[in-house]
């Protein structure tokens, strides 16, 4: 039962990270998808690419923060407990 619970926690962690990365990207795409004529970058030559640049930057920063926190990839890893500590099995 414990193994199933741990596996479920890992799956939920992956889904949560995916959702956390996609949320600001969806917001930015939603704002630029509105039919307003007042968006500053709308009539600029490189406005489309600027919006893409912002979205990619946000995604990379968030993934970097998650990686540094050890939530994805190898990031920070826990040091193994010394052999004489009570936590060592």
The reported pLDDT for the residue numbered 64 is: 93
The residue whose two tokens read 């949560």 is 16
pTM: 0.66
- Condensed to tens digits (0 to 9), the pLDDT of residues 14-67 reads 899 999 999 999 998 888 877 777 777 777 888 888 888 989 999 999 999 999
- Rounded to whole angstroms, the maximal C-alpha distance in the chain is 68
Q: How far apart are CA 55 and CA 42, in angstroms?
A: 16
């Amino acid at each position: 039962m414990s193994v199933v619970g741990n596996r479920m926690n890992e799956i939920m962690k992956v889904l949560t990270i995916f959702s956390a990365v996609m949320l600001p990207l969806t917001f930015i795409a939603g704002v630029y998808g509105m039919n307003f004529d007042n968006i500053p970058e709308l009539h600029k030559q490189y406005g489309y690419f600027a919006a893409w640049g912002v979205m990619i930057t946000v995604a990379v920063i968030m993934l970097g923060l998650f990686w540094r926190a050890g939530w994805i990839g190898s990031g920070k890893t826990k040091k193994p407990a010394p052999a004489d500590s009570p936590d060592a099995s």
